Structure 1
Amino acid sequence: MAEVHVLAILYAKEGKEGELRSDLTVVTESSRNEDGSIRYELFADENDRRRFVIVEHWRDAAAQERHHNLSGHIRAFHENGDRNVERRELVCFMSRVT
């Protein structure tokens, strides 16, 4: 099975940057410990305090799907943390070319 890479960019609601950062930090720390997680990092855009970028690297599609569909911390984020998200600018599933 091929490794899976995900790039996600979330944009915080005005005044909710700190709350979204905290929510995404919890997601990141929990996701790093999941079976199949190779890399899971959270970045803040230095030019726009409202933009956060998540870079994920999974052993295979099954591990990424378990993470997205079955992880309690992801479910909790969608039920609670989403309130701080203005929009998802990009979610991109990628495979390495070289």
Structure 2
Amino acid sequence: MSDIHVVAILYAKEGREDGLRADLMTLTRKSAAEEGNLRYELFADANDGRRFVLVEHWRDAEAQGKHHNQSEHIAHFHAHGEDNVERREAVHFLKRIA
């Protein structure tokens, strides 16, 4: 199987939680509609309102790479939404083994 999973954890700047949530909701909606996307979900940490987790599932690395490198909404987020991000806690690219 050549599918790929991505888990990304972003931490909002203090007082910018609502802005990051709105940016990520738009990003999630548009990303989920992309060709090759099998799953794209946004979660908020139940214990820390500044932490957001994106869970992605792509048909293959090519589809994920096209999403990350060529999607207008990703470029827009990097140019504008990053202002609400304090840090990226983790970005994991995973392949299922069982």
Fold shared per TM-score above 0.5 = yes
Kindly indicate whether residue 25 of structure 2 is the aligned counterpart of residue 25 of structure 1: yes
The residue that corresponds to 1:92 in the other structure is 92
1:44-80 per-position Cα deviation (integer Å, ceiling 9, x unaligned): 0010000000000000000000000000000000000
Give the secondary structure class of the aligned counterpart of 1:74: helix
With normalisation by structure 1, the TM-score equals 0.99
- Residue identity matched to 2:20: L
Give the secondary structure class of the aligned counterpart of 2:78: helix
Task: Give aligned-pair identity as a percent.
Answer: 61
The residue that corresponds to 1:58 in the other structure is 58
- Residue identity matched to 2:41: E
RMSD between aligned residues: 0.6
* Aligned-partner Cα distance in 1 for 2:95–2:4: 6
Please list every run of at least 4 consecutive aligned residues from structure 1 whose deviation after the TM superposition is greater than 4 angstroms: none
* Aligned-partner Cα distance in 2 for 1:53–1:96: 19
Unaligned runs of 5+ in 1: none
* Aligned-partner Cα distance in 2 for 1:32–1:40: 5
* Aligned-partner Cα distance in 2 for 1:97–1:83: 36
With normalisation by structure 2, the TM-score equals 0.99
Q: How does 1:42-57 map to 2 (within 5 A)?
A: 42-57=42-57
Unaligned runs of 5+ in 2: none
